[in-house]
Amino acid sequence: GPVTLIFEKSKEIPDSVTAGLKSVAVRFPSHRVAQELIRLSGVPIAAPSANLSGRPSPTMEEHVIEDMDERASCTILSGSTVFGLESTIIDLSRGRPSLLRPGPVDPDQLKGVLPDLLVPDFVSGRKEYLGDPMSPGLKYRHYSPDIPLILVEGETGMVVAKVGIVAGRKKSLVLCSEEMKDYYPVQVKKVVLGSRDNLLEVASNLFKELRNKENMEYSQIIAEPFPETGVGLAIMNRLRKAAWKIERT
């Protein structure tokens, strides 16, 4: 689902559901197959995410099979995810609503119903989260592919120059936008995530390409930055969390 809400848990919620935490995360999925599973069950379902900690999250059914092989007795095949990114997480357990993880529903949309929503500095991924880990991806490197990911940030012209320098050191693949692909060295493999004018497209392709086995044949992945407007905040959060190194120009 696009949004996860964290509440203070009631005594009816067993500790095994919340891993001993005093809070509980609630989400209603947007995917029709997950909705039907809940309907047929007739009860709320408590379950972990179908991804391994630290890795790029699965966005296609084959990703789930790859991660959960021999860990799950049954896999329901239901195609690809709607958004390509994990849900937006909002903490409602401690007074003022606070954004913990950006996702498909961006802060401007949320403020339409939660006008006093707090958006902490750590949400961008630039600063470290220092509190208790109430949700995945708040601490440590997360979402990392099997080969090093280098994120290059800065002014457009400087980014292009820096990508050329970094790509010259090793066999490299560049994750880029449609608008920027022709500015990078000809000899470097480019994977276009989408247009900078359609960040939902970029978001839907990000984890898919970070898991693409053909991309893992390279020595390193270099990613250009994207605008941090709308879902772009979530895209940059994931790239910064996944990065082995961030080069700022």
Q: Are residues 200 and 244 in the same domain?
A: yes
Per the structure block, which two tokens stand in for 120? Answer: 């902490």
pLDDT digits (tens, 9 = 90+) for 163-188: 999 999 899 999 999 999 999 998 89
**177 inside domain:** yes
Q: Are residues 8 and 118 in the same domain?
A: yes
- Around 249, how many Cα atoms within 13 Å sit in the side-chain half-sphere? 19
Confidence grade of residue 79 (pLDDT, cut at 50, 70, 90): confident
Q: Binding site for ATP, residues?
A: 49, 57, 101, 143
Q: Are residues 168 and 233 in the same domain?
A: yes
pLDDT digits (tens, 9 = 90+) for 81-105: 888 898 999 999 988 999 999 999 9
Q: Binding site for L-threonine, residues?
A: 27, 47, 87
Residue 41's pLDDT is 94
Q: What is the CATH number of the domain that holds 115?
A: 3.90.870.10
Taking all residues of the chain, what is their mean pLDDT, rounded to a whole number?
89
Q: Are residues 224 and 118 in the same domain?
A: no
Q: Are residues 10 and 113 in the same domain?
A: yes
Residue 138's pLDDT is 65
**Is 219 a residue whose pLDDT tops 70?**
yes
Q: Binding site, residues?
A: 27, 47, 49, 57, 87, 101, 143
Q: What is the CATH number of the domain that holds 240?
A: 3.40.50.11030
Residue 40's pLDDT is 96
**136 inside domain:** no
pTM, to two decimals: 0.90
Residue 131's pLDDT is 67
Structural domains in the chain (count):
2
- Mean pLDDT along residues 69-76: 82
The parent domain of residue 226 ranges over 149-248
Q: Are residues 16 and 107 in the same domain?
A: yes
Residue 118's pLDDT is 95
pLDDT digits (tens, 9 = 90+) for 111-154: 999 999 999 988 888 777 666 666 666 655 677 898 999 999 99
Instruction: Give whichever of 7-21, 64-78, 139-153 has the largest mean pLDDT.
Output: 7-21
Q: Residue by residue, what is the 3-state secondary structure of the chain?
A: CCEEEEEECCCCCCHHHHCCCCEEEEECCCCHHHHHHHHHHCCCCCCCCCCCCCCCCCCCHHHHHHHHCCCCCCCCCCCCCCCCCCCEEEECCCCCCEEEECCCCCHHHHCCCCCCCECCHHHHCCCCCCCCCCCCCCCCCCCCCCCCEEEEECCHHHHHHHHHHHHCCCCEEEEEECCCHHHCCCCCEEEEEECCCCHHHHHHHHHHHHHCCCHHHCCEEEECCCCCCCCHHHHHHHHHHHCCEEEEC
Confidence grade of residue 32 (pLDDT, cut at 50, 70, 90): confident
